[in-house]
Amino acid sequence: MKRVAVYCGSSSAVPAVFKAAATELGACLAFKGITVVYGGARIGLMGDVADAALASGGDVIGVIPQALMLDEVVHKGLTRLEVVGSMHERKARMLELADGVVAMPGGLGTLEELFEALTWAQLRVHAKPIGLLNVNGYFETLLSFLDDSVSTGFLLEQNRALLLDATTTESLLNRLLNAF
């Protein structure tokens, strides 16, 4: 696995445990020689992942829409920055560049990216492994919701299984590498 797309929060107003996890993920990917593909911002956990990967000697590719090319948002120290026309193009390009996906805690943007990757996997548009880093139990309710969705009949067990989750970076990356 050469490149992983990372989806995560753009907010910095979150407890330190999440920033620490973002830093650990960035460093861990760099140590494994895996390039980070992400949304190109310097804010929030996005910036923490990118900074940690770069500080550990890793490569980081940012994919950012023209509309977000603002000084307070864009990361100017990346290995490569691709500027695209829209949020839709950004999601498609990030997935195209990546061999797998990791979603970390985040808000609506993160959930949207995660669920698009899952929906496209369900439709066999791609077969890239998708991981969820469940830091500090943040995604517990989301995971139980998905289980309920299977029990209710809206989600097939085999599609529920497309989402690989783990509570630590190392175990999540191992699950992704085994599924690759």
Residues near ligand AMP, by CB under 6 A? 7-11, 39, 41, 46, 68, 73, 106-110, 113
Residue closer to ligand AMP, measured from CB, 130 or 152: 130
**Cβ-defined contacts of 172-180 (< 8 Å, 24+):** 172/102, 172/131, 172/132, 172/133, 173/28, 173/29, 173/32, 173/102, 173/131, 175/129, 175/131, 176/1, 176/4, 176/100, 176/102, 176/129, 176/131, 177/1, 179/100, 179/129, 180/1, 180/99, 180/100, 180/129
Q: Give how far the C-alpha of residue 60 lies from the chain's centroid of Cα atoms, to the nearest Å.
A: 13
Kindly state the smallest distance separating residue 7's Cβ from ligand AMP, in Å. Answer: 4
Kindly state the smallest distance separating residue 153's Cβ from ligand AMP, in Å. Answer: 29
Residue closer to ligand AMP, measured from CB, 15 or 107: 107
Distance between CA atoms of 154 and 99, rounded to whole angstroms? 28
Residue closer to ligand AMP, measured from CB, 82 or 150: 82
Nearest to ligand AMP by Cβ — which residue? 109
Q: Rounded to 5 degrees, what are φ and ψ at 68? A: -100, 10
Kindly state the smallest distance separating residue 120's Cβ from ligand AMP, in Å. Answer: 16
Kindly state the smallest distance separating residue 154's Cβ from ligand AMP, in Å. Answer: 24
Kindly state the smallest distance separating residue 103's Cβ from ligand AMP, in Å. Answer: 8
Residue closer to ligand AMP, measured from CB, 17 or 161: 17
- The conformation of residue 105, written as its DSSP 8-state character, comes to S
Residue closer to ligand AMP, measured from CB, 39 or 58: 39
